[in-house]
Amino acid sequence: MIAALALMTTLAAAPQQIVVWHAYRGGEEQALTKLIDQFNAENPQYQAQLLAIPYDAYASKLTSAIPTGHGPDVFIYAQERIGGWAREGFLTPLDDEANAMRPDFTPAALDAVRFEGHTYALPLSLKSAALYYNKKLVPQPPATTDDLVRIAVAQTDAAHQRYGLAYAATDFYLHAAFLTGFGGTIFQEPGHHAELDTPEAENALEFVRQLALDKRVIPDEPSANLVTSLFDSGNAALVISGPWLAGELHNVDYGVASLPIVSSTGKPMRPLLTVEGAMVSKFANAPEGARALAKFLASRDAAVERAVIGRQVVATLSAYSDPRVGGDALLSAFAKQAQLGLPMDNTPAMGAVWEPERRALVSVLASGLSAHDALEQAQRRLLATTRAAPPEKSPIPYVIGALVILTGAIVLLRRRPVSKNASPVSAAFDVGSKAYAYVAPAAAGLLVLVFVPFAAGMGLSFFHHQEGHFTFIGLQNFFDILTSRDYRITEPMNFYFTLGVTLLWTVVNVAAHASIGLALALVLRDPLLKLKGLYRVLLIVPWAIPNYITALIWKGMFHRQFGAISALLRAMHIEPISWFTHFSTAFAANVVTNTWLGFPFMMVVTLGALQSIPSELYEAAEVDGASKWAQFRHITLPLLRPALLPALILGSVWTFNMFNVIYLVSGGEPGGTTDILVSEAYRWAFQRNEQFGFAAAYSTLIFVFLLGYSALTRRVGKDPALEAA
Amino acid sequence: MKRARWTMPLTHVGLVLACVVTLYPVLWVVGLAISPGQGFTPGLRPIPHDPTLQNFKELIFTTDAAGHLLFLRQLGNSLLVSALTTIVGMLLSTSAAYAMSRFEFAGRRAGLTALLATQMFPATMMSVPLYAIMNHLHLLNSIGGLVLVYATSSVPFCVWMLKGYFDTIPRDLEEAALLDGATYGQIFWRVVLPLARPALAVTALFSFMTAWNEFILAATFLDDQTLFTLPVALQRFVGEYKTEWGHFAAGAIVVSVPVMAVFFALQKHLVGGLTAGGVKG
């Protein structure tokens, strides 16, 4: 009785849970945590709780979780996906809240979070680039680009690796400010695809080309890491970057100013404006509380906390009347610059712009292509990657066709004897039923968790995906890929070109892994070798360390001006090269990195496999006086085959689909030539308008190709492992 | 054994050289980890002038809102997930591989090909349907669900590797045991598995690694900070605008130590030379 009463009171008083997801860290996370505590204290009917998610997994987690009801009530994200998510019905419009607070938001920020007449997020924080200047080197920040060029040239001393201007010049997010300053825009007409090869865009790119290649005031391959360390060490006078840079500066005395006016047009450089906002899920469990919390986070008091603790450039204007916010030089400089910002388009069409633009910037700045040609290529790439939806087809003929093929396959399989030397029926049945008991647990698990998703993924290849809607289009995706209409075979976007590169990539890598792994394993199993345990452990280190960081360290080692490999070459009096401007060197850089990452696995597998060879054979060979080479040739190699072959076959399949290294090291440069099929599939799925169907078709072709390859090796190689199967 | 006098020193020179090339990039990770800041300056000298353990301290002593040490908790989760993945994965694959190697049954060949086929379809395309299945099975947000996903995804390699190795073990021993009245189960446990120790060590390490470094699925399937595995926590240092290289590197080193410990423990099985003794005659 008492227990029941207690239960009822707790039920009545139980606060409603509000789940909040974010990807903030450091000060921003601290501020948010404090605000959530405050909200919970002020609203006892709600219990809000935070979940911090790694940025790399954030978008995919949201997309998977929201429609199944496992998603958050409130989440904080930039505006870039609002269009796509609103179309898919993930977001609750927040028009009432936005209208109530309207005068207090930067107008550009509200524009950024509006889609088709509705406001889908309450703006929290503004991110845009501005100009950092080293106060010791540059007393007065440049007001025009003429000033900027003058200062940059005067401050550059290439011999001492000092640069007048440093910024991640191949990042279109930053380059867009030059584009707008020269009078250009990304989208000429709303709802239409972007036009990248306008005269304004060409002028902007030509201006940057001259800065980088003629005046040489910008360092080569200027990654964000390099820019930070150059500026902090006083070796860069001017830097274009966002508010996030400030937290990494410890040594330099700097100021922040608005980007200059372009002298030839008289227009200010307008940076792209990113707006992080609080969004409310359509599937929120506590919709009222969620809206209240979003409103609370955007309010003035909360904005002051976010600005002071989190160092955010807040979107709430009244927060700047607080002296701790308005009196902060950095925050107010960025807030002023944000007023001029060009809100980044929030539709999937924007997503399709990054890749062609980045390729254009790299081909101009690293390979010296003319601005005109580079932008023409960019436009062509953009049009090829934003495919129009193919006509919808009726699935019925395809279903019938699939059924016919399936039935045929079953009939064929039934008629084929199980094995040439099958045992008599009764014995086979007896052993067979035992066999199924052994296989069943693995088979059941694989069926549910591997084969079903696999079939579902493959099924997608018959659909076209646009903004949350799948339409059945039959074999059109395959047709488009295999005919490769937009690109000639010598061009990187062509399927057959990429296939060729993938094959080369696989063969070279597997050969390198297997030979290095085998060589080390043979040495390391020598019983007379001292310290072999130590060597073995040291040599598997590349496998043990997360490859995200080591792949990027390798990329840093390949940097032309600052990399360790260049320094080594210089010490040997060889002029260092730009690794990522030629196919051969970029490919080599990828292979070296992947070999380093992959040989330890092969070494371990080979060490194990070598144990399958009875040592008596070697003893007998020694007695017969066979040379070491003869022993290797006639004992080791042939007897190693059955135990090593599975690893080799799987190793080549994995390498064929090895996407990390390509993505992190060469990034497909130059011009997409070093991309392999799986990195193309990834780009279609996540960087080119989320064309999941097309990406699935790529994946299916990869699958069919690999299946054919394994069938071929089975026939041609007559390999015992498979032959015995 | 005949051997020229210079072979052994030369071998050591070669191995030391291999270790230098292997460890130079690792030195960078160490250097980043003991640098005072979060930056990453390319250059020739990986180790900073003013080393500090600050990054390790900040990594290990992070607390959640309730003041619990998150790092230790997540390290525990990772160890648990990886250990269970290894156990479940090995149980599933050793028995399946044994059947594939020793028994003739309908669907065996197709099964082997199907296992191989699963590795051929890029994993990124399977994550959304997998999420839906996990949701239907109520396996989301649980360590057990994650273990099942990892274990099944390690099965194809393990089965192939083990089957390849089982094939090299002569059947004479098993036939003798069968004649002595042993059951298939006894033969499997008492005769075959001990002989396959090197391959078991390789596949155990592989299963462990499958779970140990994975973060995308873990971050997608788990909704609770106290359930997160270490790679998820580590990946949090990689932000949209900047990466905290110092913390990430410190975490990477912490993460790699248990792997080396596991390998060190397993390597005596890897090169034990048991087979030769057991299969004589």
Number of C-beta neighbours around residue A508 at 10 A? 17
What dihedral angle (degrees, nearest 10) is formed by the CA atoms of B140, B142, B147, B148?
A: -40
Average pLDDT over chain B reads 86
pLDDT in tens, A295-313: 999 999 999 999 999 999 9
Per-residue pLDDT reduced to its tens digit, A371-388: 999 999 999 988 888 877
pLDDT at residue B4 tops 70: no
Mean pLDDT for the stretch of residues B69-94: 93
pLDDT at A5 (0 to 100) = 54
CATH number for the domain including B260? 1.10.3720.10
Q: Closest chain A residue to B88 measured between Cα atoms? A: A442
Do the chains contact at B25 and A423, CB–CB below 8 Å? Answer: no
Interface of A with B in 662-691 (CB under 8 A): 678, 681-682, 685
Structure tokens that stand for A594 in this block: 């992947």
Phi, psi of A162 (to 5 degrees): -115, 140
Quick: pLDDT tens for A607-661: 888 888 888 888 888 888 888 888 888 888 888 887 788 888 888 988 998 888 9
B276, pLDDT greater than 60:
no
Choose from A261-275, A410-424, B10-24 the range with maximum mean pLDDT.
A261-275
Higher pLDDT, residue A281 or B189: A281
Q: Once rounded to an integer, what is the mean pLDDT over residues B29-57?
A: 82
Is the Cβ pair A525, B199 closer than 8 Å?
A: no
Chain B residues with CB under 8 Å of A460 CB are: 125
Residue identified by tokens 């309207």 is: A102
The residues spanned by each domain of chain A are 15-126+275-343, 130-270+352-383, 396-471, 475-723
Any B CB within 8 A of A540 CB? yes
Min Cα distance B212 → chain A (Å) is: 9
Instruction: Show residues of chain A in contact with B64, CB under 8 Å.
Output: none
Collapse the DSSP code of B226 into the 3-class scheme (helix H, G, I; strand E, B; otherwise coil) and give the result. Answer: coil
**CA A406 vs CA A294, A322, A409, A412, A416: distances in Å:** 53, 71, 5, 10, 16
Residue B41 has a CB neighbour count (10 Å cut-off) of 20
Q: Which two tokens stand for residue B104?
A: 């003739």
Indicate if the alpha-carbon torsion angle A402, A403, A407, A410 is positive or negative: positive
- Are A53 and B100 in contact (CB < 8 Å)? no
Mean pLDDT over A583-597 rounds to 94
Query: Among all chains, which residue has been given the structure tokens 């047709």?
Result: A479
Q: Which of B28, B130, B245 sits opposite A453 (nearest CB)?
A: B130
Residues B54 and B70: beta-carbon distance below 8 Å: no
pLDDT, one tens digit per residue, over A122-164 is 999 999 999 999 999 999 999 999 999 999 999 999 888 899 9
Name the residue of chain B whose CA is nearest to A430's CA: B105
Spell out the CATH class of A130-270+352-383: alpha beta
Mutate to test the interface with B, among A450, A526, A705 (most CBs of B within 10 A): A450
**Other CB atoms closer than 10 Å to residue A580's CB: what's the count?**
25
Q: Among residues 451-510 of chain A, which lie with CB inside 8 Å of chain B?
A: 451-454, 456-458, 460
Which residue's entry shows tokens 């590169």? A501
Instruction: Give A 173-232 residues with CB within 8 A of chain B.
Output: 224-226, 228-229, 232
Closest CA to A63 of A75, A48, A50: A75
Instruction: Give pLDDT, residue B273.
Output: 46
Q: Say whether A124 sits in a helix, a strand or coil.
A: strand
pLDDT band for position B65 (cuts 50, 70, 90): low
Mean pLDDT of chain A: 88
Chain A residues in contact with B103 (beta carbon < 8 A): 431-432, 434-435, 438
Mean pLDDT, rounded, for A703-724: 68
Q: In the predicted model, is pLDDT for residue A424 greater than 60?
A: no
More confident residue, A228 or B68: A228
Is the pLDDT assigned to residue A493 strictly greater than 60?
yes
Asked whether A184 and A208 are in contact (CB, 8 A), the reply is: no
Do A15-126+275-343 and A475-723 agree at the fold level?
no
State the amino acid at position A581 in one-letter form.
Answer: T
**Closest CB to A529 among B11, B167, B249:** B11
| CATH architecture classification, A15-126+275-343 | 3-Layer(aba) Sandwich (3.40)
The secondary element (H helix, E strand) that includes residue A161 is: none
* Neighbouring-strand partners of residue A166: A239
Flag whether B214 is in a domain. yes
Q: How high is the pLDDT of residue A259?
A: 97
Is pLDDT above 90 for B187? no
Supply the pLDDT for residue A609. 87
Is residue A417 pLDDT above 70, yes or no?
no
* Site from A449, A645, A688 to mutate, B interface, most B CB atoms within 10 angstroms: A449
pLDDT per position as a tens digit, A178-188 = 999 999 999 98
What would the pLDDT profile of B107-156 be if each residue is shown by its tens digit? 888 888 888 888 888 877 788 889 989 999 999 999 999 999 999 999 99
- Residues A475-723: name the CATH superfamily: MetI-like (1.10.3720.10)
Residue B120 lies in a domain: yes
pLDDT at residue A10 greater than cutoff 80: no
| ipTM (interface pTM) | 0.89
Q: Which two tokens stand for residue A653?
A: 């399949």
Which of A3-17, A228-242, A267-281, B258-272 bottoms out in mean pLDDT, i.e. has the lowest? A3-17
Name the closest residue on chain A to residue B104, using Cα atoms: A432
Whole-angstrom Cα distance, residue A144 to residue A560? 31
Q: Is the pLDDT of residue B40 over 60?
A: yes
pLDDT at A415: 65
Question: Within a domain: residue B65?
Answer: no
Interface contact A549, partner B, CB < 8 A: yes
Which residues of chain A from 276 to 305 reach within 8 Å of chain B, CB to CB?
none
- What domain range includes position B258? 80-273
Residue B24 lies in a domain: no
**Pair of tokens at residue B137:** 């099975």
Contact A564 B41 (CB under 8 A): no
Question: Which of B104, B113, B237 lies at the smallest CB-CB distance from A419?
Answer: B104
